[in-house]
Amino acid sequence: MNIAVVNSSTVTEFVEDLATFDNFVNIQFSMVDQNSDGLLSRDEIRGGLGRFMPLGSQSQPQEEIESMLGSIFERFDEDQKGALDLKEFKSLMVEIMHALARGIGGSPITAVLEQDSLLMKAVQHELATHP
């Protein structure tokens, strides 16, 4: 467990560092893409939710998860093929990171960070760029 002081710019600076964020999205994509076909199916996104969603998936009721998946595909599956490609997945990740930044707000807060969480990645990025 790690504890860090963060604010919304911790997250937005991470998203705006294009090379780093692209690399991060590529890694997340390949971890979620279980069958390595270059597309994220609904099942793969469901399996990956715990990894890239700011809210823990275990504590959420199944109906809420399915309804969230429904909205994700409605909004981000632009060509409606029932799977997200890398570009669509990146839009989703940008949206999630901005939601995370809004949730944190501009004033510094103390956060408990789980290893490999999105916020942890943003904090590591901040430490690397503002030592």
Strands 2-6 and 83-84: what pairing? unpaired
Q: E strands within 7-119?
A: 40-41, 83-84, 109-113
**Residue whose CB is less far from Ca ion, 81 or 102:** 81
Q: Which stretch binds Ca ion (CB under 5 A): 3-11, 15-23, 35-43, 65-73?
A: 35-43
Q: In this chain, which of 23, 26, 30, 35 binds Ca ion, going by CB under 5 A?
A: 35
- Nearer of residues 37 and 78 to Ca ion, judged by Cβ: 37
- Binder to Ca ion among 8, 11, 14, 33 (CB under 5 A)? 33
* Neighbour tally for 20: CB within 10 Å: 17
Token output for 101: 């930044």
Site of interaction with Ca ion (CB under 5 A) = 33, 35, 37, 39
